[in-house]
Each structure stands twice: as structure tokens, then as C-alpha cells.
Amino acid sequence: MDADTPGHAPGRRSDDRSTAPHVVLCRTATELSAIRQPGVTLALWRRTLPTGLATQLARFTNADQPSFRLATTPDEAEEDIAAAFPAAGRNSGPLLDDIARLVRLYADLVGCPGVMLRLDSVADDGCRFFHADHVGLRLLCTYQGAGTQWLPDEAANRPALGRGDNDAVIADPDRLQVFGAGHVGLLKGESWPGNRGRGLVHRSPPADHSGLPRLLLCLDHDDH
């Protein structure tokens, strides 16, 4: 099976202290299908940024950082994304190619015909409080800047969610985890069948006011 095609590879459950049994660390795109296993709430593909993408991102200035939302399909993703880029000459290259690829990957894994796509240029703290999304299955990938912070189940105090107190949510600060640049995470939310009360606890990282905004890709299925 091609390493970039979703399938039924079981992935690798983490057995180190930094993560937990409900997390699968993936070496290929194929292993992301492990998110469909009962009990798994995060499948994390710890890849490096595709060739040429970092160079393309370095050419963006604060003024032309791409930021848009759209509904698309795997077949129409490339055309839709190209039309949404804010400046002429920015609508091609590795960033467009990678986003379109992740749309196809996500749609195949979820089995949905349509995808809600959000590419955000985030200069502030974003969703700064720990929370669990009220969605089914969400894909997150930070292309530039600090990545999403998340907590393993046993390191999160769920009764404290929604109070606006991050310190109360973090039961074990040593277990706080962070997505790296280019990492692809599939997160189960509260609306995934059988996952009520087990959505992955996460938040946006604190803003870095010394550099460019974060560039975050978020994909949801079209029934949200």
C-alpha cells in the first residue's frame, strides 16, 4: 500500500510517558487511519514540512499571509484554494499542493464528500483556553509558528474545562504536548460517535509577538 494513501494500518500506540494509550504516533499518512480505532482520540503524523514549503512561507509578509475559509471537495480543492489566495503569484506551489493533498487524505479517512477548510493567519492567542471541540473529527496542521498544545487524558482535569482557567485544567504540567511545524493531527471531538466526554483536550499556543503570525490549517467534515 502506498505510504500516502489512507488504509487500515493500525498505527503505533505510544508507550512512552510523554503521551498515552489513546494516542497513536504515525510515521506515514497511511497510519492516520488509526484514528478510527475505538479509544483513540489523537492520531499524530509527525512529518517534516514538504520540500520547498518552508521557502515559500518565508516569502510571505504580514500583509499577504493567506487567511480564508471555504467549502470544497477533494476534486475541486486545488481550484478552490488557488482562487482563495489573496495575492497574484501566491496561489501555486507546495503550500497549495499540500493543502489539497490533506483535503483528499482527510475526506478519504472520514468518508465525507465535502470538506470545510479554514486557513488562518493567527497573530493573537487564538483559542487560548484548553477545550474539547464539539465536532466529529478535525484535522489540524500548523505550517508556520508554534503548534497546537494538547494534553493526554490522564493529564487533563476535565471538570475544569469551560471555566477559563488553564492552570486548573492541567493536572500534570510535565505532560503538556505540542504539535511541531508540519505535523498533521486528527483529533476526535465530542460529537464523534461514542466519544462524548473524551474529546481531545487542546488549545492554541500563546501568541509570539516577535515574528510572523501562525499559519494554521483546519479541516472539518461538511456536516458541521
Q: Are 165 and 138 in contact (CB under 8 A)?
A: no
- Once rounded to an integer, what is the mean pLDDT over residues 192-202? 93
Separation CA 91–CA 94 (nearest Å): 10
Whether 10 has a pLDDT exceeding 60, the answer reads no
Residues 6+ apart with CB under 8 A from 209: 123
Whether 87 has a pLDDT exceeding 50, the answer reads yes
Q: b vs e for 20-29, b when ≥16 Cβ sit within 10 Å of the residue's Cβ?
A: bebbbbbebb
pTM over 0.85, yes/no: yes
User: What's phi and psi for 219, nearest 5 deg?
Assistant: -120, 135
Q: Are 104 and 160 in contact (CB under 8 A)?
A: no
* Domains, in order of start, for the chain: 12-221 (2.60.120)
- Smallest Cα–Cα separation from 221: which of 75, 111, 140, 76? 111
